[in-house]
Structure 1
């Protein structure tokens, strides 16, 4: 059976770099990669809270990069688990916020796409879940030998149910190839619903009009949005800057925004502190500072639903 290729999708970012990529890559390796090789990692490792949160709340722990532990009263989910110290010559800049050996058995592991910084095989071999792992269509072969009891491969807008835990695979503007040739692999984010709470994990994405559709289809309490790596050495339109992430958050009509995909691995040419500074400045400019929550790695935060402009608890 032939594999579907994602090249014709309107939200496919493509693989070709833009003019000037050589100069941008020289700057990247000189100022982002080599400059941090000998620097000590920042941050600290904490122990997870094992007891479930109260009914009607969710406990969110940012592990770093795009990795989160999401705990509900009856369920728990691990998204894009990545405890890597290095990706090739790119060094992790901050310690994972949680000891991987202390991560509790969760109900489900979700992987947004096949890129090495999101589908990290060594981390996936260590974590475990009752119901197995969810991956986008075309990526099941990458995780079949990692020890999961079940592999659930999802196409865009597919939903899967485990008790009252519901997961829906949503689109993004990105690409899913793990290597140059395997462009058939899908990519996107997830809507995660449990206990009357809805969390959106964006995965990797540039800004695109699809956020409006996701917001129309789902009543989102908390949106986990990427804000870094927007100055891609390739020059391709593959990640959002902080202002675009705020715009997407507004179009999702979500209650709270939590930023991710910044300060962990230097994957773009923007300065280390810039994503967070620009995010806070834009939130203050728009009067959204009370709805943008910047987490520290390993610090668990308990939140209630609909903490937004449509009515708070």
Structure 2
């Protein structure tokens, strides 16, 4: 069961919003709610768990109870890791709204292995498998599934979320790679959402012995990724989440200022709204 000290104000803010184009709410970690001018609401990688202390310890508030979500037309996930596919965070949203869970094969396998359909009022018909090259249309959004580079995941994907003339890239936990250049060549990316963090020492998953850990792109790598997709704005994520792996996003200012892309840096804290 998820408990939040923030009450239901964030889901209500999403439900009550009437954006002129597209509005996004940063949920912390790598999660977003995205609402278009037509009222369609997408959720991507919402994670409301506290991790697995002391190995992974959540450093930010749990911003809402998923049972309070009333507006959701689809819930997209980028890869199979727990902080991206998580039953207690996501199944209540599916149960309360009849939204589909949309993700690659290994992500949907987690939902099936964890018996979401038995534990919550969720049906297997709500699971939609996608792969690179697919386009999913939900209300006023067209979501293109693109290749990304996350060597820590078994089958990661990224999404280019299009609404009218706006395009948002959500790369999951991707690192910089030549595969991202195809995104920059094909799309005019208004906002690039890219995971950013520090290296640190946290307990190994199996032995629980301290181990050097680097899960996310560092300052130079995240800017290289933003350059590859030619993002007008870079919005770094994940820097706020795990004890020992957090980072300072303001440190990115000197890294971006001499490049053509990204043209600007947009730093969002958990709960912030960003408009396109």
TM interval, short-chain normalised: 0.7 to 0.9
One of 59, 72, 77 as aligned partner of 2:36: 72
Aligned residue in 2 for 1:239: 216
2:250–2:267: 8 Å Cα contact kept in structure 1?
no
Superposed CA offset, 1:124-169 (max 9, x none)? 1221344401111333232244315521111112212234321122
Counterpart check, 1:249 vs 2:217: no
1:161-180 paired onto structure 2 within 5 Å: 161-175=137-151
Partner Cα distance (2:236, 2:100) in 1: 26
Q: Please, what is the CA RMSD of the aligned residues?
A: 2.7
Aligned residue in 2 for 1:295: 268
TM-score by length of 2: 0.79
Is the alpha carbon distance of 1:72 and 1:264 closer, same or farther for their aligned partners in structure 2, counting shifts above 3 Å?
Answer: same
Structure with greater strand share of residues? 2
Counterpart check, 1:140 vs 2:108: yes
Partner Cα distance (2:139, 2:127) in 1: 17
Deviates more, 1:96-105 or 1:59-68: 96-105
Instruction: Give the aligned length.
Output: 249
| Alpha-carbon shift at residue 235 of structure 1 (Å) | 6.0
Superposed CA offset, 1:223-269 (max 9, x none)? 1111115558666875311222112212211221111011212363x
Which is bigger in relative contact order (C-alpha 8 A, separation at least 6)? 1
Partner Cα distance (2:146, 2:176) in 1: 14
Unaligned 5+ runs, structure 2: 117-121, 203-210
| Alpha-carbon shift at residue 97 of structure 1 (Å) | 3.6
**Secondary structure of 1:247's aligned partner:** helix
Is the alpha carbon distance of 1:124 and 1:54 closer, same or farther for their aligned partners in structure 2, counting shifts above 3 Å?
Answer: closer
Rg comparison, structure with higher value: 1
**Secondary structure of 1:47's aligned partner:** helix
Unaligned 5+ runs, structure 1: 1-42, 178-184, 304-313
